[in-house]
Amino acid sequence: MDTVNRALRRVPTWAVYALGALPLVWLIWEAAANTLGPNPVEAIEHRLGLLGLQFLIASLCITPLRWAGLNLIRYRRALGLLAFGYVALHLLTWVVLDRALRWDEIIADLYKRPYIIIGMVGFLALLPLALTSNSRAIRAMGAAAWGRLHQLAYVAAVAGALHWVVLVKRWPPEPLIYAGIVAALLLARVIAKRGPGWLSLWISRPKAG
- List, for residues 104-156, the tens digit of each pLDDT value: 999 998 888 899 999 999 999 999 999 999 889 989 999 899 888 999 999 99
Kindly tell me if the per-residue pLDDT of 99 is higher than 60: yes
Q: pLDDT at position 66, please?
A: 86
CA Rg, the chain, in Å?
Answer: 19
Q: How far apart are CA 113 and CA 64, in angstroms?
A: 35
Mean pLDDT of 49-65: 95
pLDDT digits (tens, 9 = 90+) for 6-42: 888 888 999 999 999 999 999 999 999 999 999 999 9
Q: pLDDT at position 190, please?
A: 81
Task: State the average pLDDT for the chain.
Answer: 89
Residue 137 contacts residue 146 (beta carbons within 8 Å): yes
Model confidence at 195, pLDDT cuts 50, 70, 90, reads low
How far apart, in Å, are the Cα atoms of 156 and each of 9, 105, 113, 185?
29, 25, 18, 13
Mean pLDDT of 60-79: 90
Q: How far apart are CA 174 and CA 190, in angstroms?
A: 25
Q: pLDDT at position 6, please?
A: 82
Which DSSP category does 134 fall into?
Answer: S
Phi/psi of residue 133, each to 5°? -85, 60
Q: Which of 93, 106, 102, 109 has its CA nearest to residue 40?
A: 93
Whole-structure pTM value? 0.89
Q: How far apart are CA 174 and CA 153, in angstroms?
A: 21
